[in-house]
Amino acid sequence: MPKHFLNIPVAYKLGIKWAGYLPTFLSYAISRSIADISYVFYKSAVKNVKQNLRLVFPAFSEKKLSCITRSLFRNYSKYLIDYGRFAHLQKSAVIGQIACYKGKENLDAALQMNKGLLVLTAHLGNWELGGIFFGSYGLKTNVLTLRDENPEIDTIRKWYREAYGVKTITVGDSPFSPIEMVRALNNNEVIAMLIDRYHTGSDSITINFFHKPVPFPRGPFILSRLTGAPVVVAFVVREKNVYKGIIKGPFVVTHENEEYEILEKVVKILEDTIVMYPDQWYNFIKI
C-alpha cells in the first residue's frame, strides 16, 4: 500500500524538532523543495493521487490534474511543517491557528444534545488540528485510528495528541474497543475518525463516491443509533496563510434503515469539500 515517503519516523522527528526553531517562511521554502523532489520520484503516489482526482474532475486535462497534484504534494509537506511547529506551541496558541469557523452553530446544536459527539472527517486539510480544536470545548476527545505499518509512527502521533489531551483508540487492538467507544459517548465525550479509507474486514456500507461504488465504515452510524450520539462532519482546511474550520450536521441515526441515508449526506459533504479543496485531499492510496 503506497504511502507518502515523508510519512516515516525520521520525517516526523526532524519536523517536530526543527520546525519550531526555523522561521516559518524558511521551513515552508524547504518543504516546497522536498515536495517537488518527491513529486518527481514518488511515481506510485503521484499516479494514485491523479487517479483519485480524475474521479473528482473527469473533464480535466492531464496537465490540469498534474498541476493540482503538484500543489497537493506541496501542501502536504507544509502540513507536516505545521505538525512540527504546533508541537512547540501552547494549546491555546494552536487552537488560535483556526482563524474562522463555518458552521459553528452546527457544533453547538450537537453539543446541546449531551449525548457525546461523533466527528467524521477525512485526510483533508489538517485533521490533527481539528482534534485539538474539539478538545478546546472542554470535552474529552478520542481519535480512532488504525495501527500504522510502522509502530514508531503510532507512538509519535499518540504522544503528539496526548500533549493536547487527545486520547488515541487503535481500532482492532482489542475486541473491547467498541465497548470503549460506547462508554466514551455515554460519558459525553468526542469520538473522531477518518472515513475516506476503508479498512478491509470491517463492517461497511457501499455508496457512490464521485460516481464510483466505494465502501465506507458503518461503525459510526451504528454507534449513533445505539447511543443517540449526533454525527457531525468537520474539516480544518488551509486558506492562504490561515486555517478555517468547517462543521456540517448534526445527524442522528434512529433506525437501521437510516444508516444509508445519513451516510449519503455525509459523503455528499465530503465530495463538496474535496471539490473546493482538491489539493488538500492527502489520499495517496487509490480509491
DSSP state of 167: E
Residue-wise pLDDT for 244-257, tens only, equals 999 999 999 999 99
Instruction: Walk along the chain (287 residues) and give the pLDDT tens digit of each residue.
Output: 445 555 655 565 566 666 767 888 888 898 899 899 989 999 999 999 999 999 999 999 999 999 999 999 999 989 888 877 777 677 778 778 888 889 989 999 999 999 999 999 999 999 888 777 776 667 788 988 766 655 666 676 776 677 777 888 777 655 557 888 999 999 999 999 999 987 666 789 999 999 999 999 999 999 999 999 999 999 999 998 889 999 999 999 999 999 999 999 999 999 999 999 999 999 999 98
| Cβ neighbours around 114 below 10 Å, total | 10
d(CA 170, CA 148): 10
**8 A C-beta contact, residue 6 and residue 34:** yes
Bridge partner residues of 13 (DSSP): none
Q: If you count them, how many residues does the chain have?
A: 287
Peptide bond preceding 215 in cis form (omega within 30 of 0):
no
Strand 212-217 and strand 242-251: pairing? unpaired
CA quadruple 20, 21, 22, 23: dihedral sign: positive
Bridge partner residues of 247 (DSSP): 234
Residue-wise pLDDT for 46-64, tens only, equals 999 999 999 999 999 999 9
Q: Where are the domains of the chain?
A: 9-86, 94-277
Residue-wise pLDDT for 191-239, tens only, equals 999 999 876 667 899 999 999 999 999 999 999 999 999 999 999 999 9
| Cβ neighbours around 138 below 10 Å, total | 7
DSSP state of 6: T
**8 A C-beta contact, residue 142 and residue 178:** no
Neighbouring residues of 29: CB distance < 8 A, sequence distance ≥ 6: none
